[in-house]
Amino acid sequence: MKKTNLSSYDHASVPDGSAYRIGIIAAEWNAEVTDVLLQGAIDTLLEHGVKEENLIVRRVPGTFELSSAADIMLDSQYPDAVICIGCVIQGETRHFEFICQAVSQGITNVAIKHECPVIFSVLTTDTMEQALDRAGGKHGNKGVEGAVTALKMLAFKESVA
């Protein structure tokens, strides 16, 4: 991968978030990565007008729990969008494959069920170094990308409603 900041974006292209309530669910596992992703998402949402009191931030034990937590949050706290933040790093077993597949499918299913943007801000990397590179390192911050995606998807949803 080139040494590129994948989180660079045109700030003017991001819709104003002042009318939205945004949920963010972050995994506790690999916290040295997910904490940075979470802060990137929060900072970006605030920068684009989301009011601090309209952020619903919760932690779950691991990435696998993101799907069910998003479903619970949408049923109980009614955010306009949910950003799911996690980090799964390849190990020596097939656990990585099972978790990544389950989480990606689960987040998709929750989004379809609720007809609501549920954003996949989950790093799936081979090494911790790669994860750190995408958590505020040389390749940007996947949390920033998740926040921008949430706001753009909310604008999209409004445009087709």
Asked if residue 12 belongs to a domain, the reply is no
Tell me the per-residue pLDDT of 97-135, one tens digit each, with 9 for 90 and over.
999 999 999 999 999 999 999 999 999 999 999 999 999
Asked if residue 102 belongs to a domain, the reply is yes
Asked if residue 45 belongs to a domain, the reply is yes
pLDDT computed for residue 11 by the predictor: 87
Catalytic-residue membership of 95: yes
Strands 135-137 and 22-27: what pairing?
A: unpaired
Residue pair 109/103 in contact (Cβ under 8 Å)? The answer is no
Which two three-digit tokens encode residue 79?
């955010």
Which of 48, 95, 114, 139 is an active site residue? Answer: 95
Domain CATH for 100:
3.40.50.960
| pLDDT mean values, one per 10 residues, the chain (161 residues) | 70 94 98 98 98 98 98 98 97 84 97 98 96 93 97 97 81
> Model's pTM, two decimal places?
0.95
Asked if residue 111 belongs to a domain, the reply is yes
